[in-house]
Amino acid sequence: MKIRKLISPLTGVLATVITGVWLLHATEPVSAAPTPSTTVEAVIDASKTSAPINPNVYGMFIEHAGGLVYTGMWAELLEDRKFYSPIGKAPQAPIDALSGPNIAQYKEKKSWDVRRAAAPRGWFAVGSTEFITMDSEHAYVGDHSPAIKLSLNESRGIGQTSVTLMQGKEYTGRIILAGDPDTKVSVSLVWGAGKKARQTVTIDKLTSDYAKYPLKFKSAADAPRGTIEITATGSGVLRIGAVSLMPADNVQGWRAEVIAVLKDLNSTLYRWPGGNFLSAHDWRDAIGDPDKRPSIFDPVWAALQSNDVGTDEFMTLCRLVNAEPYITVNSGLADARSAAEYVEYANSPATAEWGAKRAANGHPEPYKVKYWNIGNEMWGVYQYGYMPLYQYIYKQNLFAKVMRKVDPSILLIASGAMPDTMTGSKEALNLGDKLIPDYLGPADWTGALFLNCLDCMDMISEHYYNYNTHFDLAQAKQVPNDPNEPLVDWMRRPANHTKLKVEEYEEYVKRIPALKKKPVPIALDEYAYAGNFGGVANYKVVPAYAWNFHEMFRHSDIYQVATMTFVTGAYSAKHGQAALNPTGMIFKFYHEHYGTIPVNVSGNAPQPKVIDPVGGEQPAVHAGSDTFPLDVAAAWTADHKALTVAVINPTESVQTLNLKIQGAELSGKGTLRRIAPKSLTATVEIGKKPGVKIEEQSVNRIPTNPSFAPFSVSIYEFPVK
C-alpha cells in the first residue's frame, strides 16, 4: 500500500492516509471505567420528542487525496495512462506545490523551492529509450505524447508492470494510436514467464490521425505484478495518445465490488471533490471525453491525477449507490463566475450554455444537485487561495449571490471554523492575539460569517478530527493521550467535539439575535477518529462513532448533515472482493435500525464533571446521557409504529441498566440487534472469517434490567400495541 504523511491542518499533528482507508488499530492499554455505586437508571419518555433526525447525518466524504479515488474506487489499472511524465521518469512536483507539509518545510528551510519528487510511476521502455521521444507538436492530450521511432526488424515500445490480474477475469480497454499504414502494433497482457503466459491484441492499418482501438484480454493466472506491453514494428513513427485497461465487469468505470459494497452501506449523501484538493482544482478540467482531459499534478497532495473522475462520473457514482450528491465549489484559487457556471452545468436545462455542454457530454437531464458547499477550510493559511477574514466575507457573499441567481433552490453551506477549530489549528493566532478566540472577535471565523453573511448561507460547515493525541491548551499543541486513559474517555472524544460545537453554536444564538429568526444548522462535513495507524480498520472506533451519532441525535435541530472522512474507510477490498468493515457496519446499523424522531432520555447517573480546561477539544459539559458509564438514546420510527432504544457500553466490563419506558403503549415483544465482538481489535478482512458481525434475536418483553457486554452497541426495537 502507498502511505503518505501530512501535517493535519486541523491539529498540526502527524496523520497518515493509507490509499483508500483510514486505518485504526487498538494497541494502547486501556482501563475500564469505574462501576457505578448505584444501579444506573434510564427513563425513556416517548411522549417528549424533538426535531426529526436528518438522514443525511449518515453521509460520507470522498476526495482526490493522492490515490484515494483512483486506487480505492475507480477501476482503471494503469498509472499515468495519458503520459504526463516522460517514459521511465517520475513526475516532478511543480514549484508551486505548497501544501501543509511544504509550508512547514518552508518555515524550516526558509526556501520556497519545496518541490517533492513523486515515486516512479508508469511506463518503461521496451528496448532502448533512445528511440522514444515525447512529442509536443503532435500531442494527443496534455503537453506531449510518446513517439516511438520504429524498425522493420526489431519490436520497440513501452510497458507497465504492477498491473494486478486475476485468473479467469476478463479485462477491456482502449488504446489511441497514430502511425504509418505499414505499422503493426502488438498490445500484450502478461501474467507470467514464457510465450504462453500472455495474450496479444494485434492492430494494423493505422492512419496519421489518432484513432481509438478496443482491447480485450482474459488472464489465465493470478498476477499481482502483471504487465501490459505495447510494441510495434514498421518504418515510421508510432504515436500513443492514451491507454486504458479495466476489469470487464466495471460499472461505468467504477470497481464492481466497490459499487456493491457501497450499495450495502446505503449511505445517504456523498460530499465531493474536497477537501484541500479542491482549492487548486478547476472542475472544468474534469468534464468531457476522459481521454482528452489532461492529467494534472495536484500540488496539494503532490500526486498525479488523471482527471478521469470528474463531475459526471461522481454523479454516476451517486446514482449507482442511491446517494444524494453534495458538491463543494472552489473558493480558493477559483472565482465566483466559475462557481455559478458549475451550478449551471449541474442544474440547468440543456438550453442553458453550460447545460448544453453537459448534454453534449451525454447527460441531457439536469442533475438537480441540492447541497453546495462554498469552499473548504478557507480559514487556514495552508489553503490555496487563503485570504484574510475581512476579505473572505465579501467572497462568501459574492459566491452565494451568483450561485443562487443560477438556481435559487440550492442550499448553500459556508466554510466555517468555530473557536474550537481556530484554537486546535492555532489559526486564531494568525488573526488575533488569543489562542482561544473571543466570540465575534477578530479570529472568530464562523462568528464573522454569521454576522456578515447570514443571508448568504443555509448551513455552516464544520470539521474536526480526533487522534491518539489531544490539544493541550497550556502547551498550545497536540500531546499524546494518557496511555492509561479509561476506554470510556477514549470513546467519548468525538462526541465531545460534537457537543463542543453545540455549546459554541448556542453562544452564537445568544449573541446574534438574527440567528434566532434564521437558524443556520451545522454541516459536520469532515470528521473521523484517526486513532492508531497501522494494521487494518478494526472495531475499537465503532462505539466512538455510535456515541457521536447519539450526540448528533440529541441535537437533531442543529446537526443536519454529517459526512465522514472518507467513504473508503467504511469497507475493505482485495482481489476483486469488498466487504463493509466495522466502521461501515456501524453506519449501516444505525441508518437501517435506529428511529428518526428522538425522544427524551433521563437518568440518575450524570456523566463525570469536566476536569480539563474548556476549549480546544473540551466542552463545558461532557457528551453523553445521564446514564454513566453507558450512553442511551431513543427514537420513534418515522411512522410511530415502533420505538427504538440504543445503548452503548464504552467500557471493558459488563454494565447493567434499570430501563423504564413511559409515554407509549408498546407490545412488549420486539427485536434486539447488537454488535459485540470479543476484542477491540476485531475486524473484517477479505478471505478471513469476520471478527465483527451484527447479531439479532427476538425479545418477548421489554427488559427491566438488561446487561450489556463490554464495548458493545445495542439497538432494541419495540412495536406499539
**pLDDT tens, residue by residue, 13-24:** 323 333 333 333
Residues 174, 283, single domain; the answer is no
| Half-sphere exposure (Cβ direction) of 500: Cα atoms closer than 13 Å | 24
336 plus 243 within the same structural domain: no
Q: What is the pLDDT of residue 531?
A: 56
Looking at residue 57, the DSSP 8-state letter turns out to be G
Q: Which CATH number do you get for residue 50?
A: 3.20.20.80
Which grid cell is 144? 506531449
**Domain match, 577 and 508 both:** yes
Contacts (Cβ under 8 Å, ≥6 apart) of 513: none
State the pLDDT at residue 337: 98
Read off the amino acid at residue 492. R
Whole-prediction pTM value? Answer: 0.91
**Statement to judge: residues 279 and 132 lie in one domain:** no
Residue 359 domain-assigned (yes or no)? yes
Residue type at 14 in one-letter notation: L
Burial class (CB in 10 A: 0-12, 13-18, 19+), 137: exposed
Look at residue 21 and tell me if it is in a domain. no
Residue 86 lies in a domain: no
State the CB neighbour count (10 A cutoff) for residue 138: 14
How far apart are the C-alpha atoms of 83 and 87, rounded to whole Å? 8
Q: Please report whether residue 532 resides in a domain.
A: no
Residues contacting 594, CB < 8 A, separation 6+: 549, 633, 635, 644, 646, 715
The whole-number pLDDT of residue 12 equals 33
Q: Which residues form the domain of 66? A: 31-78+252-527+537-715
Q: d(Cα 174, Cα 193) in Å, to the nearest integer?
A: 24
The answer to whether 459 and 523 are in contact (CB under 8 A) is yes
Cβ neighbours of residue 390 under 8 Å, at least 6 residues apart? 448
CA-CA distance, 86 to 145, in Å (whole number)?
A: 9
* 217, 247, 277 - which closes a domain: 247
Flag whether 542 is in a domain. yes
Inside any domain, residue 609: yes
Q: Is residue 102 part of a domain?
A: no
Where residue 160 sits, what CATH number does that domain have?
A: 2.60.120.260
**Interval 408-459: pLDDT, tens:** 999 999 999 999 999 999 999 999 999 999 999 999 999 999 999 999 999 9
Residues with Cβ within 8 Å of 172's Cβ and at least 6 positions away in sequence, in order, are: 214, 215, 216, 217, 245, 246, 247, 248
> Rounded to an integer, what distance in angstroms lies between the CA atom of residue 326 and that of residue 317?
12
Q: What is the pLDDT of residue 536?
A: 65
| Shared-domain flag, residues 570 and 511 | yes
Peptide bond into 437 cis (omega under 30): no
Task: Tell me the per-residue pLDDT of 115-142, one tens digit each, with 9 for 90 and over.
Answer: 444 444 589 999 888 999 999 999 999 9
Whether residue 669 sits in one domain with residue 556: yes
The pLDDT of residue 521 is: 98
Domain boundary among 247, 275, 293: 247
Co-location of 489 and 624 in the same domain: yes
State how beta strands 371-374 and 411-415 pair.
Answer: parallel
3-state DSSP call for residue 485?
Answer: coil
Residue 15 lies in a domain: no
241 plus 261 within the same structural domain: no
Q: Write the single-letter amino acid at 265.
A: L
Q: CB of 239 within 8 A of CB of 210?
A: yes
Query: Last residue of some domain: 247, 278, 305?
Result: 247
Question: Does residue 219 share a domain with residue 73?
Answer: no
Q: What is the DSSP string of 91-137?
A: PBPPTT---HHHHHHHHHH--S----BPPP-S-EEES-GGGEEEEST
Under-70 pLDDT residues of the chain:
1-38, 89-121, 531-536
Clarify whether residues 317 and 168 are in a common domain. no
In this structure, how many other beta carbons lie within 10 angstroms of the beta carbon of residue 119?
8
Instruction: Answer yes or no: do 196 and 136 share one domain.
Output: yes
Q: What is the pLDDT of residue 640?
A: 96
Is 222 in the same domain as 266? Answer: no
Q: How many structural domains are present in the chain?
A: 2
